[in-house]
Structure 1
Amino acid sequence: MSLPATTLAASPPQAAFGDTIEILPKIFQDDTNLAVMRRRLDPSLAAGVAAQLEEARRLDWRWRGGVGDALAEDLLGHLPRPERAGPLVEDIALICEAMAYLFDTETIGVRLQRLEGAMCPRFHVDNLAVRLVSTYAGPGSEWLPESAVERAGLGAPRPDKPDPLRDAQSIRRLGCGDIALLKGEGWIGNEGRGLVHRSPQPAPGEPRLLLALDPG
């Protein structure tokens, strides 16, 4: 799948926030590398999520394919408490359908993981075009506005590299339940402008449930 070419804007990349799904297409704008639909999980969805985390069981479900019934059935078969997972499965299926529609693709890569620690603790950019992330439990992903980034420090750490974080006070965090599109370095025309982000460190005994989607 090819994504649209963009022309680099003179201004630094920006973030767009809104309370409805209409905010997500903002990711196609040249000057936007983060689009976030803010939301709170409704009580039935939050209860279903909590049920999946009641037992300290490994959860690492992955899917690549279409977004129809087969996806929902496969997910349901991998959850620890399928009898209480209806709202969660429905929510993930709807997000997958929205992602497929937005990027005009029939194939979605999906990952739902229970995390006990930070998966990617160093600030970095993704080399892919775009990724959707949403945290169902625990702290949301952390990201940096451009003013707080030292891009020369990105990549594998070396003694001669600066810290990619210029200002620790500028670290931003997505909320639990937010749906966010992160534009990466692989988006045509976005080289050197991918969103800088990292995984948060959950508190001891506070598992994180993370959903990540890649189109195509």
Structure 2
Amino acid sequence: MPMTAAVSSLPASPTAATHWAEGGGIEVLPRIFEDAITLAVLRRPLPYDVLAGALAQTQARHPLSFAWRGEPGDALRAALREALHCPVVCGPLVEDIQTLAEAMAFLFDTDEVGLRLRRLDAPMCPRFHCDNLPVRLVTTYLGPGSEWLPETAVDRAGLGAPHPDKPDIVLADAAIQRLEAGDVALLKGSGWIGNEGRGLVHRSPAMESSQPRLLLTIDPA
């Protein structure tokens, strides 16, 4: 299906009937604690200095795959500086990741977080699915953002391993939504107590071979 025809952006003003919230201020992220909300999105443009660090990771000869678990702070900064390509331009990117890790730890009252930063040259999870974990922070620094479905466009009987007898997951292609590069999203999964069977349905976006993606995910540990 052509990406330009099938994918739309988030609605400008969610109504009370929706299960997502979005806005340009940090105060939107705690809305993930509302029972009805399964997606909270902070819409933000990325500063040029952060983009410069991200671009260095996508242009390097060797793909970046960084995984870390611990308390956000100087240890995370040091680990990032050691792992990132072209560290001389990566200071703002490191601080942005640090800020998001601190925010995740604060929001979910945990000392540690699990973090992964990866350059992706192909979709990681191209099939629509929902995670069994409680919650995950997702942001794409470069490249297309994650795609997700409003609940009204999902047939959950089609989720899981593909099988010829299963129905299509997507009820309406035009309902597919996409996060933008720079957006910070909290995705509530089926492992969230009280959200069993209602995890946000999402997938990795289709990608052009010339357009790698730099993806950060953070989980409360």
With the length of structure 1 as denominator, give the TM-score of the two structures: 0.93
* Residues 1:61 and 2:61 aligned together: no
- Residue in 2 aligned with 1:6? none
8 Å contact 1:151–1:164 — kept in the other structure?
yes
Alignment of 1:86-101 (within 5 A): 86-101=91-106
TM superposition shift of 1:13: 6.1
- Residue in 2 aligned with 1:41? 46
- Residue in 1 aligned with 2:147? 142
TM superposition shift of 1:114: 0.2
* Residues 1:161 and 2:171 aligned together: no
- Residue in 1 aligned with 2:217? 212
Between stretches 44-53 and 163-172, larger displacement belongs to: 44-53
8 Å contact 1:52–1:80 — kept in the other structure?
yes
- Residue in 2 aligned with 1:183? 188
TM superposition shift of 1:56: 3.0
Query: Structure 2: which 5+ residue stretches go unaligned?
Result: 1-15
User: Aligned partner of 1:195: which letter?
Assistant: L
Q: What is the percentage of aligned positions where both structures have the same residue?
A: 58
Q: Secondary structure at the match of 1:45?
A: helix
Structure 1 segments (4+ residues) deviating >6 Å: none
Q: Secondary structure at the match of 1:32?
A: coil
8 Å contact 1:185–1:194 — kept in the other structure?
yes
* Residues 1:80 and 2:85 aligned together: yes
Q: Secondary structure at the match of 2:59?
A: coil
8 Å contact 2:29–2:40 — kept in the other structure?
yes
- Residue in 1 aligned with 2:112? 107
TM superposition shift of 1:69: 0.3
8 Å contact 2:57–2:119 — kept in the other structure?
no
User: Aligned partner of 1:21: which letter?
Assistant: I
* Residues 1:129 and 2:134 aligned together: yes
Within 1, Cα distance between the matches of 2:215 and 2:191?
22
**Structure 1 residues 12, 162: CA separation in 2 closer, same or farther (over 3 Å shift)?**
farther
User: Aligned partner of 1:184: which letter?
Assistant: G
8 Å contact 2:57–2:63 — kept in the other structure?
no
User: Aligned partner of 1:36: which letter?
Assistant: V
With the length of structure 2 as denominator, give the TM-score of the two structures: 0.91
* Residues 1:119 and 2:124 aligned together: yes
Deviations along 1:76-117, one digit per CA (max 9) or x if unpaired, are 100111111001000000000000000000010000000001
Q: Secondary structure at the match of 2:167?
A: coil
Within 2, Cα distance between the matches of 1:73 and 1:13?
41
How many residues in Structure 1 have an aligned counterpart in Structure 2? 206
8 Å contact 1:34–1:182 — kept in the other structure?
yes
Within 1, Cα distance between the matches of 2:59 and 2:202?
29
TM superposition shift of 1:194: 0.5
8 Å contact 2:69–2:114 — kept in the other structure?
yes
Cα RMSD of the aligned pairs, angstroms, is 1.1
Within 2, Cα distance between the matches of 1:93 and 1:30?
28
TM superposition shift of 1:50: 1.1
Within 1, Cα distance between the matches of 2:166 and 2:214?
33
Within 1, Cα distance between the matches of 2:109 and 2:17?
27
8 Å contact 1:148–1:170 — kept in the other structure?
yes
8 Å contact 1:52–1:85 — kept in the other structure?
no
User: Aligned partner of 1:132: which letter?
Assistant: L
